[in-house]
Amino acid sequence: MWQIVKLFARQGILTEPAPVPRLEEAVEAGRIQAEVLAVLGRALAIRQVDAGSCNGCELEIQAVGNPYYNLEGLGMRFVASPRHADLLLVTGPVSRNMEQALRRTWEAVPEPKLVVAIGDCACDGGIFGESYASRGRVANVIPVDVTVPGCPPPPLEILRGILAAVRRTR
């Protein structure tokens, strides 16, 4: 136990200031959190769905939870069921084998629901495109509110995309 306490004491807090959606003035993390609360009345619950990605985007979405970006410190968290979610974070070109599962997940999210497409494949099909096995971009299957390009987009861009989606609902 003392080793864990020692680690905490030595490391301190690494969390960096939260980013802001593009073309908007700088705000502090506290204001973003207030905004999330104003829009949704509580913390933002996110459900991640890999609809056929190469897993590169998953690595960067996981990174959003590390101490540097500290997603949970902004009042957001990943939840285990779409029924608990306000927002879907979808990656990958939508494989035909995942099309039905993605639709069902989307249907299970209560209204009002937001969808953020993460990564080049989710935005426009990416290098995989449309084929016998791929339906291409996420918007071909479910409605998308915000797209975050990149292969994969770095954690800051992912965070920006989530914040942009929350603001759109105001």
Partner 1 sequence: MSARPRHVDRAGWVAAAESADRLVALWGVDRRPQGGFAACAAYVRKGALEWVDLDLGAGGAYPDLSRFFPHAVRMQRAAFDLVGVRAEGASDERPWLDHGAWGSRFPLRFDATPADGAARDYPFVRVEGEGVHEIPVGPVHAGIIEPGHFRFSVVGEKVLRLEERLGYTHKGIERRFTELEPLEARRLAGRVSGDSTVAYAWAYCQALEAAAGVQAPPRAAWLRALALERERVANHLGDLGALGNDAALAVGLAHFSRLRETWQRRSREAFGHRLMMDFVAPGGVAAEPGTVQLVAIADDCDALEREVRELRTLYDEHAGLQDRFVTTGRVTPALAAQLGLTGLAARASGQPIDLRVERPAGPYAALGVRIATQRNGDVAARVNVRFDEVFESLRLIREICARLPGGPVRAPCAVPDTSAAMSAVEGWRGEVLVALELAGGRIRRCHLHDPSWQNWPVLEHAVIGNIVPDFPLINKSFNLSYSGHDL
Where on the chain is the footprint of partner 1 (CB under 8 A)? 3-4, 7-8, 11, 14, 48-63, 65-68, 78, 80-82, 92-93, 95-102, 105, 126-129, 131-134, 151-152, 154
How many other CB atoms sit within 10 Å of the CB of residue 168?
A: 12
Residues 90-124 as b/e (b if ≥16 CB within 10 A, e otherwise) read bbbbbbeebbeebeebbeebeeebbbbbbbbbbbb
R_g of the chain, CA atoms, integer Å: 17
Closest CA to 32 of 88, 91, 24, 14: 24
Phi-psi map region of 16: left, alpha, beta (phi>0 left; psi -120 to 50 alpha): beta
Least Cβ distance, residue 26 to partner 1 (angstroms):
22
Q: Which is nearer to partner 1, 39 or 153 (CB)?
A: 153
User: Mapping DSSP to helix (H, G, I), strand (E, B) and coil, where does residue 61 land?
Assistant: helix
Least Cβ distance, residue 93 to partner 1 (angstroms):
6
Least Cβ distance, residue 103 to partner 1 (angstroms):
11
Q: Which is nearer to partner 1, 66 or 169 (CB)?
A: 66
Q: Which is nearer to partner 1, 21 or 152 (CB)?
A: 152
Least Cβ distance, residue 52 to partner 1 (angstroms):
5
Q: Which is nearer to partner 1, 105 or 147 (CB)?
A: 105
